[in-house]
Structure 1
Amino acid sequence: MTAKKKKTDQSKYIKKFWMLYVLLFLFVISIFLLASVGVFGKMPSFEQLENPQTDLATEIISQDGKTLGKYFKQNRTPVDYDQLPKHLVNALVATEDERYYSHSGIDAKGTLRAIAYLGSKGGASTITQQLAKQLFTDMNQTGLANRLTQKIKEWVIATRLEKQYTKDEIIAMYFNIFDFTRGAVGIRSATRIYFGKEPQDLNIEESATLVAMFKNPVLCNPYRDIFKDNALQRRNQVLVQMARNEFITEEEKDSLKALPLELNYTPEYQNDGQATYFRAELKKFMNNWIAENHKEDGELYNLYSDGLKIYTTLDAKAQTYAENAVEAHMKNLQKVFFEKNKNNKTAPFRSLSQKEIDRIIDRSIKNSSRYKQMKKAGVSEDSILASFDKPIQMKVFSWEGKKDTIMTPRDSIYYHKSFLNAGMMSMRPQTGAIKAWVGGIDFEYFKYEHVQQAKRQVGSTFKPFVYATAIDQLHLSPCYKLPNTKFTIPKGKFGLIKDWTPVNSSDDYGEIKTLKQALAESINTITARVIDKTGPQPVLQLVQKLGIDTKNIEPYPSIALGTPDLSVYEMVSAYSTFANKGVYVEPYYVSRIEDKNGTVLYQHKSKTQDVLSYETAYVTVKLLEGVTQYGSGQRLRGTWAKNLPHYKKAVTGYPYDFKNPIAGKTGTTQNQSDGWFIGMVPDLATGVWVGGEDRSIRFTNLTYGQGATMALPIWGMYMKNLYQDEEFEVSAEEFEKPENLSIQVECDNETKDGNNATSQPDYNIDF
């Protein structure tokens, strides 16, 4: 063959190559153009690329910046790129897309390799393509043709995303959209759930563990035991990739690979985490707010997908101390309650017939979620009730953790009713800001909320309202004296249909007492004399101004002894008025609401009302101080019950050893079914209720069945922790005294045990 012919043949091949190359190029361009106009399926618009629509969790944020919980369909809370640690980004790039920073959405080298080796040496999807797939394409395509068209769409969308966003923004979007399973959608939820921390706090091996899940979030999941080996091996492969790409040294790789795979699993469901009862109540607030507030386009906000941020007044530390105090005390108190009921055949109920108990259980069955779900599904009444008597495997509550057992649903209701419950709220009197809210002992098993929803008889904690009315009306001093003798308000007076002669729980009579002593010792006969002077109607008028709902309270003298059913929420807000110089401030727990872009949608506005004079409020506070000086609240002081047996100290939480002024009142209801303590320092008011779910669940005597033993210890433990925490501001000072105080508050010759107070002449004695 001549040289000329060879040259002609080569030229022919070169022309064919370039023709093939041009045709292939034109084919690819045409494919891209066809994909762009939607021939292979709908493509995202410019607006959709600019604002990808993903469900975002609504976040509940404490006053001190901690996340208390979320409402979500998908538990996703986005973070910006600058909130991601560098080693987390490096781990992703090293493992998922080594040439990420050098391509424009499509890795040509990787694509050719994948085609040449049919994917046996790795795929070619870039991080940008994977983001495109997650955001805008159907991830469940089957069949070769469908998968090819989906791949083409990914390529087109990836190149568009690269034009629309920076490399850093694409990285952040990919981390924010990935589903790490177990309720963790996005990197922030994943770091909180798997490691109990924020993304910026991740260390290298934790970052590698999470990036390992991008291969397969189920098979490489570090939580489940059956997949832990997979997760460890994949984590170590991520570390190898990081070393290969020189993000870490070989020495770092080897030392990190030797570390065990450790988690701090912290689930974020409604039944788990902090402030569970509060979050349920907050949801009601948000549902009401959403019903009254629309977006600019007229649509309603979605609590579960619009990424709202709810800034609350709760303090995360105070909430923790409150929950810990409730748990510590209730665990000990429950042991005593079980011990006292071990020989009671109708335990935990007292003084009820079996027929009455069956009625309570039947009512609870019909209020249960199991009954309602079966009813909704169309199951017959007989079948539903029969199912409650069939033993099944279940988990039940215990103070040692959930217990696996087999019992009938009916018996499980009976079992859970044997537990005492609690409600606790703490607020700033001057602002109304609620700092802690504990609505019960365990939200999963005891859904009924005991701060705002439940109302129980308040006992002697109502008495300060009677005394405050007398101080306001009659200008009485805490040193005013009355006889501790039986006293009758005759029928006909104040609408009574028969004579009313209250008795003292101590059955002790005869001495003359000051008002300060009478309140401290909770003397019923003297309180009856006081309400006889004021009348019940003015007392109700006062408590209504203090934020208490009085529409179901009849104006009878017996209210003086605490017969009304009220909530912890009402009682704490009412008492706070005394600490706030007579000004009532409505409690609140939402300070503001923002949308996902940070636009403020709601800002709290305080609601206040002048109720009492500064002088009257201060004098009432001084009366309440007497309760903790020498009354039922004196166990808050270090001198109380030094010789108590150890087990009683455990139940009461003693010692507390408070030296600062504390104004408060215990309350105990009839038959020892409810125990209360409301306590205040100048800048914090806190109330606690403890009792059974049903009023017939109670202690048999006052040793344990009184407010000072049932409720006060929770207050003591909570406040002790607050005072020990230097970061939490709480006053240990005296309550501020008004200038030109005209009422005597310090009684002459008044000893610490409250006896021999002789500050007022005999004409103050009203027989």
Structure 2
Amino acid sequence: MKLNKKQLYKWLKRIGFSILTLIVLFTCFYASIYFGLWGKIPSNEKIVGLKQSQATQILDANNDLIGKLYIYDRQSITFSDFPQHLLDALIATEDVRFYEHNGVDNKSLLRVFFKTILLSDESSGGGSTITLQLAKNLFGREHSGAIGTVVNKIKESIVAKRIESLYSKKEILTLYLNTVPFPDNTYGIESASEKFFNVHTKDLNVWQAATLVGTLKANHSYNPRLFPEKSKARRNLVIDQMVNYKYLSDTDAAINKSKDIVLDYQYYAPNQGLAPYFRAEIKKQLDAILKQKKFTKPDGEQYNIYHDGLKIYTTLDNTMQRYAEEAMREHMKELQHQFEVAYGKRAPWLKNKPAYLEAKKRLKKYRDLKAKGLSEKAIEDELKKTHKTELFSWDETIIKTISTLDSLEYYSKFLNAGFLSLDPKTGAIKSYVGGIDYRFFQYDHISQSKRQVGSTFKPFVYTAAIENGMSPCTYFPLKAVTYTDEKNWTPTNSSDIEDEENLNYSLEKSLSNSVNTIAVKVLDEVGIDEVIKQAHNMGIKSDIEAVPSIALGSANLSMIELARAYTTYVNDSKPVTPVFITRIEDKNGNVIASYEDINPKAVTEKAYSDDTRQVLLEFMKATVNDGTANRLRTKYNLQNAIAGKTGTTQDNKDGWFVGITPKLVTLTWVGNDNQQIGFSNTGIGQGANSALPIFAKYLQKLNRDSKYNAITKAQFEYPTEEVLMSLDCELTKTDGFFKRLFGSKKDTIQFKEEPKKGIFSWLKKKKKDKDEDENLEENDN
């Protein structure tokens, strides 16, 4: 059927009117969006003053990233940090006409409009430019549905044009790559590079860059950690695009496509990755530091550790930390097996055993139900309800459907551990392991816990004795005595110590073999108050109860303060405060808080004399060479210069070892979090078996790494001739005939609170006069 001119004109008029109507409608629709009827559009001022949340970085002593604090895992870098092949991969894949348009690809926008509105084709695609994606990344979306998609696209096109008018192409690429989301809740190319490949962006190779660019299409679907094959196929498509647009040769493309995706994945979440207990402690300290007025922003506002992109420089050494964690895992897995086998069916964590029943009453859920007035049966029924949960295991994490009571029984059997290694000169913490697995045991046994320290307290008793004038060649009888004024308390020795009636040990032999009976006698001789005073001078902050049992380590102390006291033996007799943070910078590299701002001044006053230090160091070297820690030499074949002290508490509840080398002081503790549960026997529970091996394995790993030769091959100071002469005596002595015949046979005595007078006081005074004469002579010189 033919149309005449009149009809044709009529149809053309209708079409024209329809087109005009559409144009008017679209213009009105566009104007309604532009003027904010569909939500406010960011102004030029807001776009220019973009403030993006950035993660706070926690760096080790080598400036390597060990963790982050963030809501959005993002850290910014500059354009010069982007390798060219990264930019090429991005443009070839995401926006090949990036340098030609003004932020909007009009063809893509029209396609979305007509296909989505007129044809209801939800697969029409987005066709977004890099600038449009940046607009979306920066300001998000508010609407959904078909019309919402168009509204969002138009809003983003307006923002994109504004961005293009305010920023250069380089600046747009920098903004984009610093804000674009990558898999695993990671924002920005630098965070993604470090998380997936453990390299900085500038060090990404071609296939790594292509892998990360490939994930931009769908963060989850192309996550190389979860879906390596899909990610590889997408990476190869990106490389093909680089070839298509002449960014890469066929030969280079073939080489890079042949590579498997090998990740070096870094966990920066608070409960995963390297040094989680240390990072948790850093956060705690940051909260306290940044609340101080002197550390606020120039405008007086407080810094926000989750948003302001701070850099926290710490003392930790990431390699030493890794060795410490490996040593702990290797030993604790084996020790846990020994622990469970030794108890067998007699295990105290089994249901209906006293330790289990007491632990049940300490459960928060139990206390909450009890507070509601529920009967014991009703509480029991609630606690027996099952649920699916993830459980810790030394082999691999397991998922089980168990009740709260089952969970209590399961976790009550696990031994826990603490490990701290620091530089005794500076206090710099090099390794910090607060527990066996932060995901399941978040209680920090270094900074939060206080436990009885056992025989690791004995060196403080002997330090006080030597400092107060007692000769290293003073002998004490091994035999046990009963202290009648201390409720007939009779301290005894472990079964492997000879208990001959007339045998006497020197101080060196007594300490190196951790003889309980003599430690108490030395305390009796020196006086409790003198020993407590000496311990406090060495850096112990906790109150110490003035009772004779402190000679055997009944005091509850933290690992931090115990470490501080032991640093005196290799730090010129001065305690050093453990140091975590060396400085804090803002995101622009400006120092907010320096080392001096954060850390206390070094102690300048000696806790005791140089002679005392050298004597005690010789005593503790003997502990390693011939005493309770000699398995460091025999079993672990360690030839380093080492001094140390083992410790075991009553009923084998806690095992300790303090390892001293010239440039490291290292503490290890092992025990059950439920202090009602100890080891079943001393053979397993003694510090030499439960705690010492972690130190031994740690030092073995350091020995194998030549990077640490300066630490592992360091030697102790050589004692003075006077100190060597004072130590020149037999380690043991048997009473002579007349002493055996006429000596005291008393097995009961009263414990003295004050030091003995006579020769002891004279030696103390003589030593004090000698020190004063030396000081005067020094001043005269």
Normalised by the length of structure 1, the TM-score is 0.84
CA distance in 1, matches of 2:376, 2:291: 35
Q: How far off its partner does 1:755 sit?
A: 5.2
Q: How far off its partner does 1:581 sit?
A: 1.1
Partner of 1:532: 524
Aligned residue runs from structure 1 range 404-423, under 5 A = 404-423=399-418
CA distance in 2, matches of 1:681, 1:73: 41
Among 628, 631, 636, which residue is 1:632 paired with?
A: 628
Kept in 2, the 8 Å contact 1:481–1:764? The answer is no
Q: How far off its partner does 1:524 sit?
A: 1.6
Q: How far off its partner does 1:53 sit?
A: 2.4
Q: How far off its partner does 1:625 sit?
A: 1.2
CA distance in 2, matches of 1:572, 1:229: 49
Among 462, 472, 481, which residue is 2:475 paired with?
A: 481
Aligned residue runs from structure 1 range 521-670, under 5 A = 521-551=513-543, 553-605=544-596, 606-609=600-603, 610=605, 611-637=607-633, 640=634, 654-655=635-636, 657-670=637-650
Range that drifts further, 720-729 or 440-449: 720-729
Q: How far off its partner does 1:45 sit?
A: 4.1
Range that drifts further, 45-54 or 206-215: 45-54
Per-residue deviation, residues 374-409 of structure 1 (Å, max 9, x unmatched): 999999998776442123332211111112223222
CA distance in 2, matches of 1:124, 1:282: 45
Q: Does 1:430 align with 2:411?
A: no
Q: Does 1:511 align with 2:503?
A: yes
Per-residue deviation, residues 696-736 of structure 1 (Å, max 9, x unmatched): 32223222221111111111111121232222341533322
Kept in 2, the 8 Å contact 1:622–1:745? The answer is no
Range that drifts further, 526-535 or 476-485: 476-485
Kept in 2, the 8 Å contact 1:429–1:577? The answer is yes
Partner of 1:12: none
Q: How far off its partner does 1:599 sit?
A: 2.0
Distance 1:389 1:367, change over 3 A: closer
Range that drifts further, 173-182 or 102-111: 102-111
Distance 1:230 1:528, change over 3 A: closer
CA distance in 1, matches of 2:573, 2:692: 25
Q: Does 1:393 align with 2:391?
A: no
Structure 2 counterpart of 1:598, one-letter code:
G
Among 682, 701, 704, which residue is 1:702 paired with?
A: 682
Structure 2 counterpart of 1:283, one-letter code:
K
CA distance in 1, matches of 2:380, 2:155: 56
Aligned residue runs from structure 1 range 292-441, under 5 A = 292-293=292-293, 294-344=296-346, 346-348=347-349, 354=352, 356-366=354-364, 386-441=381-436
Among 62, 77, 85, which residue is 2:75 paired with?
A: 77
Kept in 1, the 8 Å contact 2:61–2:314? The answer is yes
Partner of 1:291: 291
**Alignment size in residue pairs:** 706
Among 440, 443, 451, which residue is 1:456 paired with?
A: 451
Structure 2 counterpart of 1:68, one-letter code:
I
CA distance in 2, matches of 1:409, 1:363: 12
Distance 1:121 1:556, change over 3 A: closer
Kept in 2, the 8 Å contact 1:535–1:557? The answer is no
Kept in 1, the 8 Å contact 2:86–2:210? The answer is yes
**Secondary structure in structure 2 of the residue aligned to 1:665:** strand
CA distance in 2, matches of 1:708, 1:504: 16
CA distance in 1, matches of 2:734, 2:429: 38
Q: How far off its partner does 1:587 sit?
A: 1.0
Distance 1:558 1:162, change over 3 A: same
CA distance in 2, matches of 1:84, 1:179: 17
**Secondary structure in structure 2 of the residue aligned to 1:291:** coil
Structure 2 counterpart of 1:694, one-letter code:
N
CA distance in 1, matches of 2:373, 2:174: 47
**Secondary structure in structure 2 of the residue aligned to 1:103:** coil
Unpaired runs of at least 5, structure 2:
1-15, 740-757, 762-781
Aligned residue runs from structure 1 range 26-175, under 5 A = 41-107=39-105, 123-138=126-141, 140-144=143-147, 146-175=148-177
Per-residue deviation, residues 445-498 of structure 1 (Å, max 9, x unmatched): 122211121111111110000111111111x3433322223345552xxxx5x3
Distance 1:501 1:365, change over 3 A: closer
CA distance in 1, matches of 2:671, 2:627: 22
CA distance in 2, matches of 1:260, 1:459: 53
CA distance in 2, matches of 1:764, 1:484: 22
Structure 1 counterpart of 2:640, one-letter code:
N
Range that drifts further, 184-193 or 675-684: 184-193
Kept in 2, the 8 Å contact 1:191–1:199? The answer is yes
Q: How far off its partner does 1:518 sit?
A: 0.6
Structure 1 counterpart of 2:384, one-letter code:
D
Distance 1:390 1:515, change over 3 A: same
CA distance in 2, matches of 1:238, 1:379: 63
Distance 1:748 1:617, change over 3 A: closer
Partner of 2:663: 683
Per-residue deviation, residues 549-586 of structure 1 (Å, max 9, x unmatched): 332x2111211111111122121111011210111111
Q: How far off its partner does 1:329 sit?
A: 0.6
Partner of 1:278: 278
CA distance in 2, matches of 1:561, 1:431: 30
CA distance in 1, matches of 2:101, 2:561: 63
CA distance in 1, matches of 2:126, 2:319: 48
- % identity of equivalent residues: 38
CA distance in 2, matches of 1:745, 1:425: 35
Kept in 2, the 8 Å contact 1:424–1:689? The answer is yes
CA distance in 2, matches of 1:287, 1:485: 54
Among 185, 188, 194, which residue is 2:187 paired with?
A: 185
Per-residue deviation, residues 281-306 of structure 1 (Å, max 9, x unmatched): 22221222233343333433322222
Distance 1:500 1:619, change over 3 A: same
Distance 1:537 1:222, change over 3 A: same
Structure 1 counterpart of 2:492, one-letter code:
V
CA distance in 2, matches of 1:223, 1:325: 27
Range that drifts further, 194-203 or 698-707: 194-203
Per-residue deviation, residues 66-108 of structure 1 (Å, max 9, x unmatched): 2221122112222323333322221111011112123332345
Distance 1:383 1:92, change over 3 A: farther
CA distance in 2, matches of 1:748, 1:45: 85
Kept in 2, the 8 Å contact 1:480–1:764? The answer is no
Among 711, 727, 738, which residue is 1:730 paired with?
A: 711
Distance 1:80 1:516, change over 3 A: same
Partner of 1:643: none
CA distance in 2, matches of 1:608, 1:158: 56
CA distance in 1, matches of 2:150, 2:370: 49
Structure 1 counterpart of 2:570, one-letter code:
A
Q: How far off its partner does 1:203 sit?
A: 2.9
Distance 1:528 1:126, change over 3 A: same
